[in-house]
Structure formats: C-alpha cells, structure tokens
Amino acid sequence: MSINVVILAAGQGKRMHSELPKVLHPLAGRPLLAHVVATARTLKPARICIVYGHGGARVPDALRADDLVFVKQQPQLGTGHALRQALHHLDPRKKTLVLYGDVPLITAQTLTALTAGKGERLKILTAELDDPHGYGRIVRNVRRAITAIVEEKEATAKERRIREINTGIMLLPGKRLAGWLAQISNRNTQREYYLTDVVALALKDKVEVESCMPGNNWEILGVNSKQQLAELERIYQAQTAMRLLQAGITLADPARIDVRGELRCGHDVRIDVNCVFEGVVEIGDGAEIGANCVIRNTKIGAATLVAPFSMIDEAVVGRNCRVGPFARIRPGTRLARDVHIGNFVEVKASTVGAGSKANHLAYVGDTSVGRNVNIGAGTITCNYDGANKHRTVIEDNVHIGSDTQLVAPVTVGAGATIGAGATITKDVPPGVLAYTDMKQVVKRGWKRPAKAVKGKK
C-alpha cells in the first residue's frame, strides 16, 4: 500500500552561519534534502510533499520535479504546525511518513521496516544513544509500552537520563492525522506546536503506538552545524567505500576517496588515494585510476590507466588508453582505444582516433584527430580568433612536429608531416611535408647585456 511522505525542511540552521538554507548545503555533492528525497522515492509513495520556509523559493527552485509538492511554512511554529501546512495535499486514506530534510543518511531499509505492516498504528523511529543530549526522550511504562515523548527542554531530570530518543521520523495513520493536528497545543516553553504531542492523542484514542529502530545509529544524525555536516560527509564516504570494496574494487585507502554522485566499476578496478568522482562515472574492467585525480560525468574504458593528478570532465575515454599524469580532458572529448594523452596535455571538445598520441605539453581544442596521429610537444590548435571558435581537422597517420601552431579553421590531410616550429594557416594536402621556411640567423661578436652594478652609472 502506498503512503504519503512529508519532508520537513523549513529550518533556518543558524549555526551553519550561512545565507544558504540549511537543507541545500551539499553532502557528497548533492543538497542534504536531495538525499532524503531520493530515499523517499524508493518507497514509491503516492505523494512527496516538502514543507519549506527559510530561504524562500531557493528550496523549491533547487529541487523542483513533477513528483514533488512544495508548501511554505511561514512563520515557523514547530513540527506540528509544519505538518499541518501539508494536510490538504495528502490522501487521508493513506498513512503519512514524516521525514526531515536535514537528516540525509536515513536508509531505504530502515524506512521499509518502519512502514511495514497493516492496521491503524502510530509508529515511531527511535534509537538508543550513549549521549542523548538534545533529543526528545521516549517514556515507557513498566510493560515497555510508549506512554509519551518528552522534549528535552520540557523533561524532568529523571526523564533526561533516558537513553532512548525520538528521531522525529514517524508513520501516522491518515484518517486520524487532521484531527490530531487540530488538537495540538503550543502551551510549552518554546510556544511551538510539537508533532510529538500526537503520541498522547493516539493513546487517548486507543491507537497502538509502536517503535522501530534504525539499522545503524548514524542514519538518524541531523545537520545543525558545519562540523556535523563534515562528520556526516565522512560517514557517507566511508559507507560508499565499503560498498565499493565489497563489490571487488581495490581502494588504496578507503578513507581517502570521495564519491559525489554515482561510481560504477567493472571487475579488477584499482583506485589510488585522494581521488574525487562527481556525477555519474563509469570505469571499465581492469582500469586503474592514479592518485589525486578528479573525474566527473565520464566513461572510462577497460584496461585504461589514468595517471596521477589528471582531470577528466564530461568525456568518453576508450579501452587501453593512457591519460596523464597532469592531463586535463575537458567536456565534449572522446578518445578512441589505445590513445595516449600525456603530461600537461589539454584536450577540449575533440575526438581523437585510435592509436593517436599527444604525449607532452600540447593543447588540442575543437579538433577532429584521426587514427595513428602523433602530436609533438608544444603543439597547439589555435581555435579562437577572439570572437568565434573554429575547428581543426587532422586526418589519419599525420605526424605533427614539436612547437607547431595549427590556426583554425584548417585541415591536415592524411599521411602529411608537419615540420617542427611550423605555423600552419592553410590546408595541408595529404602525404606532403609542410613546414615554415625561416632561416637561422647567427650574429658573431654579439654580447649579452650585463646587469648594472648598484652605485655605478
């Protein structure tokens, strides 16, 4: 049976010391709230409603999607008041799951357990913490039945010693929800409408109150400061590294990898330390990623080596390629199989054919490079005239000598050779030798200028 999901995301987050709404701060490259939404979607709910407030339209603008409904809470008068704003968007025939936009690590497995079962019940996700400071406490009677949730600021000294806490995540019976929310009072020290007050109302209506615990306590951790955000980042990355290891990926150090998106790896992939993967990255069988690489939205073929300190962004790298060290592959680049892109080589919006090489100190931009081309050190494609980009075409089996400038638009025909130091401004026919005919000048008896000695004229 499908459910309603309401994500409370209206808080300001004063301790973040930022103008950015708290739920939009990034964890693993995505807003905190985006993680919660992604997990909620795995439950296939009838409706996902997000209650926002602080930051105005920045929250809905950042996550707008056809399956999301956004409701503004203004002013923010507590969690009960927040849920009340979403009521008219919810199907009263379905149970409502309440989540929080600043609790990003909650797992689908835990929520599936919480939402399992039939019947009219109030289910609360609780956890036992060594240090329960700051959380509402779960109060039980001698039969271990839940009798109340007491917020810490309202709790007695005895209640504060309770280690079982309320995570805030709960499943509410749809038919009772509107009536319960209408009865919640703000007669407390904070003058807020606490959602936790529905427990007393449920017991009054003889509705069973149950609890469920998460698979791991880190799932229920929230973010209220940059320190907590950093702590959750490391937890997230540690869990990601563990999944990669379990899938057979070799990580030189599981504590030194950052995945800010989705990393898909084949068999026998090796990843060295301090690599960052952003967006969707696919790495083929037997590929190796050297230390300190940044790879974003890229597909890397099998048996390819990406040497240390290389950056690859929105590109496709073929099988058995060699990239780097210190190479930069920019968006729109496609490397065929057996391509070598060496140290301090930059390739942008170009295709490079199978077996071609640019091993040192080159810039290849807006270029179509054929098969088995050798691009010498210091070569650049001059693709920008100050206003427009132009394209260079280098056909198969071309040899380009060092320190060559190819001034686009220009085509170098198949099998041609370009002599070192040439400036090519016109098309080169296939199979010819092209070079710039400049004579070397030698001046005998010439003396290099000497630096003036201080104090002497």
Does a structural domain hold residue 173?
yes
Q: Which of 35, 54, 88, 360 is catalytic?
A: 360
What pLDDT is stored for residue 370 in this prediction?
98
What pLDDT is stored for residue 54 in this prediction?
87
Statement to judge: residues 209 and 311 lie in one domain:
no
Task: Please enumerate in sequence order all residues whose Cβ is within 8 A of that of 365, keeping only pairs 6 or more positions apart, or say none.
Answer: 346, 347, 348, 349, 350, 381, 383, 384, 389
What pLDDT is stored for residue 452 in this prediction?
81
Does a structural domain hold residue 96?
yes
**Nearest 5°: phi and psi at 101?**
-70, -15
Statement to judge: residues 321 and 277 lie in one domain:
yes
**How many folded domains does the chain comprise?**
2
Which residues in the chain land under pLDDT 50?
Answer: none
What pLDDT is stored for residue 453 in this prediction?
82
Range of the domain at 245: 226-434
Statement to judge: residues 102 and 199 lie in one domain:
yes
What pLDDT is stored for residue 220 in this prediction?
96
What pLDDT is stored for residue 189 in this prediction?
82
What pLDDT is stored for residue 118 in this prediction?
85
Which CATH number characterizes residue 353's domain? 2.160.10.10
Give the C-alpha separation, 7 to 102, whole Å.
9
Give the C-alpha separation, 360 to 137, whole Å.
64
Give the C-alpha separation, 41 to 353, whole Å.
42
How far is C-alpha 167 from the geometric centre of its chain's CA atoms?
Answer: 26
| Angle at 436 (CA atoms; ends 434, 442), nearest 5 degrees | 140
Which CATH number characterizes residue 163's domain? 3.90.550.10
Does a structural domain hold residue 454?
no
Statement to judge: residues 215 and 259 lie in one domain:
no
Helices (H), 157-290: 157-160, 174-183, 198-204, 226-246
Does a structural domain hold residue 456?
no
| pTM over 0.95, yes/no | no
Does a structural domain hold residue 449?
no
31-68 pLDDT per residue, tens: 999 999 999 999 999 999 999 998 889 999 999 999 99
Statement to judge: residues 205 and 251 lie in one domain:
no
Per the annotation, the verdict on 133 as an active-site residue is no
Statement to judge: residues 279 and 213 lie in one domain:
no
